[in-house]
Structure 1
Amino acid sequence: PLRKIWSMIPGGYNIPEEMAEIAEKRFDSWRVIIQSMNREEIENPKI
């Protein structure tokens, strides 16, 4: 998914594959964290 977004950004297609894979893994980690939060935690992450 991130590769498609980067292809829309000028110069984004020049991102090395290794960096893209690292970013994808980090994105997946954040997605899991955010999806595990309830509405109150999403609205106020300092909880």
Structure 2
Amino acid sequence: MVPNQLGPSVPEGISPLGELPIEILITIMESLDIPSTIRLSMVRLYRAS
């Protein structure tokens, strides 16, 4: 697993998204055309988990 550049790496098994870099999640959300406000709130939830 590649460490997250925004902070310490997330231990495996914490959540199903724990193994994905945040950049990949943002790319997926952009490709699905999710509004940026929703995307930002999801990023905050992801970092808090």
Shorter-chain TM-score tier: 0.3 to 0.5
Q: TM-score, normalised by structure 2?
A: 0.43
* Bigger Cα Rg: 1
Structure (1 or 2) with the greater helix fraction? 1
